[in-house]
Amino acid sequence: MRSAGESEANSEERLAAKSPRERILIAARDLFYRHGVHAVGVETIAETALTNKMTLYRHFRSKDDLIVVYAQQLANEGDEVLDRILSENLANPQKQVDAWVDHVEDVLTNKLERGCALANAAVELDTGHPARAVIEAYKQRKHDRLVGLFRAARYRDPNLLADEVFLLFEGARISIQCGGKGPALRVVGMLRGLLASRPKSA
């Protein structure tokens, strides 16, 4: 059985094998998610990334620039997850809906889940911060894709349904930050009940 020291050493070796930019993004992602974008300074990010502030600023003009790239990276990954879910059931929109709800369940029951990283960052950022535009565009894109998904599955009033489903999922992730997983774990059942109760077009 490996000791904590051995595990940490192996982790540092794997990190050291990556490029400085990759190391900085990996470090920033972990630190921003665990502590918040304001609480983490560039010195801490550089040290965790096994580099220095000069190298960090060579790749990112400022901490704000790094936050924008962090947000864009998360948004791209979110798009890719939904792309994958939808691509697996192209011929059956209802199965796509069911697969998305299964994904929601996986997210909310993940023991490492501490809320949506993008929503967490948005709360800390001024409305004029460039990363806010990235986050808001992603959230709108996600909502619009749910509308399209529910329309393809022939739900009546897909816009209203997308509003309700979106708010349930987003609210559940925020509640994890504030009051633990108890209420959030009931959301999947609520989602399935909501979808089952909604009429469909003939």
Q: Look at the block and give the residue holding tokens 């997308």.
A: 162
Average predicted confidence (pLDDT) for the chain:
91
Same domain, 117 and 184: yes
pTM summary value = 0.86
132 and 47 belong to one structural domain: no
**Residue 164: is its pLDDT beyond 90?**
yes
Question: Do 23 and 120 fall into the same domain?
Answer: no
Amino acid symbol at 175: S
Residues 50 and 135 in one domain: no
Same domain? For 86 and 30 the reply is: no
Same domain? For 177 and 166 the reply is: yes
- The Cα 114–Cα 33 span in angstroms is 8
Per-residue pLDDT band at 4 (split at 50, 70, 90): very low
- Residue range(s) defining the domain that contains residue 163: 62-202
Residue 195 CB partners (closer than 8 Å, separation 6+): 97, 101, 155, 161, 165
Query: Domain count of the chain?
Result: 2
CATH code for the domain in which residue 51 is found: 1.10.10.60
pLDDT of residue 173: 86
* Tens of pLDDT, residues 11-67: 778 888 899 999 999 999 999 999 999 999 999 999 999 999 999 999 999 999 999
State CA 6 to chain mean position distance: 30
CATH of residue 161's domain is 1.10.357.10
Q: Where are the alpha helices (DSSP H) in the chain?
A: 4-16, 20-35, 42-48, 53-59, 63-87, 93-109, 117-124, 130-152, 158-179, 182-185, 187-197
Are 93 and 142 part of one and the same domain?
yes
